Amino acid sequence: MKLVSISIDKAAIGISFACAVHCLLLPVALVFLPTLTVGALGDERFHQWMLMAVLPTSLIALTMGCRRHRNMSVLAMALPGLVILTLAAILGHDTLGESGEKIATLLGAALIALGHIRNHTLCRRLQCRCSTNLSSC
């Protein structure tokens, strides 16, 4: 169970990072590679697909971690990120504008990643205590 929680946290961090890289590098790539504009990466469906990967992965990892370390600061950081990311994907650039969508997506992804990093750190700290002092577990 501990290994699964850590693995899911790492996967969620990776997905959040991929989302942030996508947001930052796509405009540059579009200038140099015009074919990407008609491909899957420039499509709104890509954002929705990423959201469908981020939401369950993050919720599972955060829930498992919080059950273990009982520190709700992780949720206080990551849940607003999930909400912001969801709103950015739903509202899109039609409502938020091109810059607004990017800013919201990057902010949401950053909050989610920070929440997962904190979750991962707390779980590792707990595991270290458990390996040295079994009575504290």
pLDDT tens string 18-43: 766 666 665 655 555 555 455 554 55
Place of tokens 């420039």: 42
Domain carrying residue 45: 2-136
DSSP code per residue over 36-103: GGTSGGGSHHHHHHHHHHHHHHHHHHHHHHHHHH--THHHHHHHHHHHHHHHHHHHHHHHHHHHHHHH
Question: Cα angle at 20 between 106 and 52, to 5 degrees?
Answer: 90
| The length of the chain, given as a count of residues | 137
At 130, list the tokens.
């458990």
Q: Considering its fold, how many domains does the chain have in total?
A: 1
Task: Using 50 as the pLDDT threshold, list the residues of the chain that sit under it.
Answer: 36, 41, 130-137
pLDDT of residue 38: 53
Percent of the chain whose pLDDT exceeds 90: 9
Q: For residue 110, what pLDDT is reported?
A: 87
**Residue 136, pLDDT score:** 38
pTM above 0.75, yes or no: no
Distance CA 17, CA 98 (A): 20
CA separation (Å) from 80 to 44, 94, 108, 130?
A: 22, 22, 7, 31
